[in-house]
Amino acid sequence: MDLRIQRSVVANLRNRPNPVETGPFVLGLDLSTDSPHINYATPVPGAEITATDVRDLVAAFDGRKPRLEYVISCAPTLEKLLLDAGFTVESRNEYLICTPDTLAVPSVPEGFEVFAPKSDEEFAGMIAAQNDAFGGGFRSTPADVERYRRNRSAGGVMIAARTADGEFAGGGTAVAPNEGLSEVAGIAVRERFRRQGLAGAITAAITAELFAGGAEVAWLEASGDDSWRVYERVGFRPSGQRLYISK
């Protein structure tokens, strides 16, 4: 599974609007945003990697923050090379997987609607709620909306949550499946709407839509005990580790 996940990450970054391939790395650039959580690199599994390759990768970021995300077992010697080049570990995250057999879809909490956004206004509301949940303030830009629409057109899944009176509470996304796998990401609920079961409902809705479209495995990362419990309740199970590291 580690190898399948890493291959899917490589494929996803190659589908970014402005991808760059340098040596054994794929750098998934999207020039519409400066976010290092969107513009990052990953190694091609099985490729030999040298210190020169790392220096060339840093140069390829062209002034942007050099950052990588990858499954640790697929490049076991890379972390030392990156640390020697001045990188710092951001986090080590467990990734979890879900299959149609393990998925458990909970009821949507009373007073909320979980749905697929269609209009620009709905996309903007969802993005603003996610940004607010992650500490970036309740905001979104036309470029953000366009990026979400582009991902949707490519086969990705977007699910938003809002209250009965129309206030956006959160949302989440998934990339288009590759070789039967899809990453679920950006699961976010604004602080005052948390601990009501909304994150689980969003995660399950995204995952169910992926499986309805033919995906075999959905995967995501748990960054803490709270998110771990949410994901386990809807059928995700631990499978491996990924590294976030930046310079």
CA distances to 75, 196, 242 from 49, in Å:
8, 46, 18
Find out whether 191 and 133 touch, Cβ atoms under 8 Å: yes
**pLDDT in the model for residue 228:** 84
Fill in the DSSP letter of residue 193.
G
**pLDDT in the model for residue 225:** 67
Of 54, 75, 58, the closest CA to residue 5 belongs to 75
**pLDDT in the model for residue 156:** 94
Distance, in Å, from the CA atom of 118 to the CA atom of 228, rounded to the nearest integer, reads 30
Cut 0.85: pTM above it: yes
**pLDDT in the model for residue 34:** 86
Distance, in Å, from the CA atom of 204 to the CA atom of 134, rounded to the nearest integer, reads 20
**pLDDT in the model for residue 215:** 95
**pLDDT in the model for residue 223:** 72
**pLDDT in the model for residue 211:** 97
**CA dihedral angle for residue 29, residue 33, residue 36, residue 41, rounded to 10 degrees:** -10
Find out whether 181 and 5 touch, Cβ atoms under 8 Å: yes
Residue numbers of the chain with a pLDDT score lower than 50: none
Fill in the DSSP letter of residue 39.
S
Distance, in Å, from the CA atom of 10 to the CA atom of 114, rounded to the nearest integer, reads 30
SS3 28: strand
Distance, in Å, from the CA atom of 247 to the CA atom of 245, rounded to the nearest integer, reads 7
What's the chain's Rg over C-alpha atoms? 18
